[in-house]
């Protein structure tokens, strides 16, 4: 009797039983695999992305806070007061050399203190914008350290006066609205007819600085004026210099027939 067909059928039945048996395991295995795939291919990158957004959100929060703070500072400023302060600041530190105005202020300081100006000398150089020229003609030597901070112009002054007038002049020069300083001061006394006259020479250094041409980025914090800066500008505004820009070199009549004829 041939039993090979029976054994073949039995083997086939066993195989199909094994497949059914392992396929029930495969469902679980595939589900685990799918879970892991979801975790590593979808959830993990999304989580990283979300964490990046969270970080950028904290930066944005800071940015928003600083912008809000800046906006509130700007909102609290008085436009009219600021305009006055800018005019005063321009008097304090002009955008150009303003050499004629400076000399006229020195002459005024001399006249009001009673000193006799023997000589006023300057080499202003180009009177154009600051940037167009190196600082070759600006204050040199002893004021060199200060010219590094900003450009300046030097006026050499020689004068004769009494002691109290000299002190008054030194004070007057330092209270002119422009930022000035005195260097290389030299005083010698000469007694004549019982009274003592002083001969003094000095360099008056006056600073100038171009206006900033660009605003910083919108996120750049706004720096408010300190109280001492406000007081400084207030002093200039109160003297009237800031509101009357006509405090400058006086206008003169123009037009001559013979330009070599003495006046």
Binding to another protein (CB under 8 A): which residues in 197-216? Answer: 207, 209, 211-212, 215-216
Residue 77 makes contact with another protein by CB under 8 A: yes
Among 14, 49, 107, 121, which residue sits at the site for another protein (rule: CB under 8 A)? 49
CB of 173 to another protein, least distance (A): 9
- By beta-carbon proximity to another protein, the closer residue of 103 and 151 is 151
Task: Name the residue among 150, 218, 144, 156 with its Cα closest to residue 182.
Answer: 156
Residue 146 dihedral angles phi and psi, to the nearest 5°:
-80, -30
User: Which 152-171 residues touch another protein, going by CB under 8 A?
Assistant: 167-168, 170-171
**Distance, CA of 251 to CA of 243 (rounded, Å):** 18
Task: Answer for the pair 170, 161: CB distance below 8 angstroms, yes or no.
Answer: no
The reply on whether position 181 binds another protein by CB under 8 A is: yes
Please report how close the Cβ of residue 251 comes to another protein at its closest, in angstroms.
27
Residues 90-119 that bind another protein (CB under 8 A): 90, 92-93
Interaction between residue 28 and another protein (CB under 8 A): yes
Residue recorded with tokens 């004629």:
100
Q: Which of 128, 142, 238, 244 binds another protein (CB under 8 A)?
A: 142
Distance CA 155, CA 104 (A): 12
Which one, of 249, 247, 235, lies nearest residue 84 by Cα? 235
Cα–Cα distance between 97 and 151 in angstroms, integer? 9
Cα 258 from Cα 213, distance rounded (Å): 44
35 forms part of the interface with another protein (CB under 8 A): yes
> How big is the CA angle at 97 (ends 217 and 207), to the nearest 5 degrees?
70
Q: Does 129 interact with another protein (rule: CB under 8 A)?
A: no
Tell me if residue 3 falls in helix, strand or coil: coil
Smaller CB separation from another protein, 7 or 196: 196
| Residues linked to residue 116 through DSSP beta bridges, in sequence order | 160
Q: Of 77-85, 101-109, 119-127, 252-260, which segment contacts another protein by CB under 8 A?
A: 77-85
Does residue 71 bind another protein (CB under 8 A)?
Answer: yes
Q: How many helices (H) and strands (E) does the chain have?
A: 7, 4
Look at residue 148 and give its three-state secondary structure.
Answer: coil
Task: Give the number of other Cβ atoms within 10 Å of residue 139's Cβ.
Answer: 23
Q: How many residues bind another protein (CB under 8 A)?
A: 78
Euclidean distance between CA atoms 205 and 183, whole angstroms: 7
Q: Which stretch binds another protein (CB under 8 A): 101-109, 117-125, 177-185, 249-257?
A: 177-185
Among 11, 68, 111, 244, binds another protein (CB under 8 A): 68
Minimum gap (Å) between residue 79 Cβ and another protein: 6
Residues 234-253 that bind another protein (CB under 8 A): none
Member of 83, 112, 118, 123 binding another protein (CB under 8 A) = 83
């Amino acid at each position: 009797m041939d039993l090979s067909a029976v054994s073949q059928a039995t083997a086939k039945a066993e195989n199909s039983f094994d497949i059914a048996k392992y396929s029930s395991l495969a469902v679980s295995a595939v589900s685990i695999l799918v879970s892991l795939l979801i975790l590593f291919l979808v959830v993990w990158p999304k989580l990283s992305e979300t964490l990046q957004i969270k970080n950028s959100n904290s930066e944005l929060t800071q940015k928003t806070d600083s912008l809000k703070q800046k906006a509130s500072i700007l909102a609290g400023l008085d436009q009219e007061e600021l305009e006055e302060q800018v005019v005063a600041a321009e008097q304090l530190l002009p955008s150009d050399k303003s050499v004629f105005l400076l000399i006229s202020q020195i002459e005024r300081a001399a006249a009001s203190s009673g000193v006799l100006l023997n000589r006023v000398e300057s080499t202003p150089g180009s009177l154009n914008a600051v940037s167009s020229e190196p600082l070759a003609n600006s204050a040199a030597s002893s004021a060199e350290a200060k010219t590094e901070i900003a450009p300046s112009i030097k006026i050499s002054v020689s004068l004769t006066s009494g002691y109290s007038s000299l002190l008054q002049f030194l004070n007057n020069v330092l209270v002119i609205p422009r930022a000035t300083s005195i260097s290389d001061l030299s005083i010698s006394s000469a007694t004549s007819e019982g009274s003592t006259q002083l001969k003094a020479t000095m360099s008056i250094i006056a600073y100038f600085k171009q206006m900033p041409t660009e605003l910083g980025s919108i996120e750049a914090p706004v720096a408010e004026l300190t109280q001492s800066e406000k007081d400084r500008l207030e002093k200039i505004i109160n003297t009237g210099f800031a509101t009357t820009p006509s405090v400058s070199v006086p206008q003169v009549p123009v037009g001559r027939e013979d330009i070599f004829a003495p006046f």
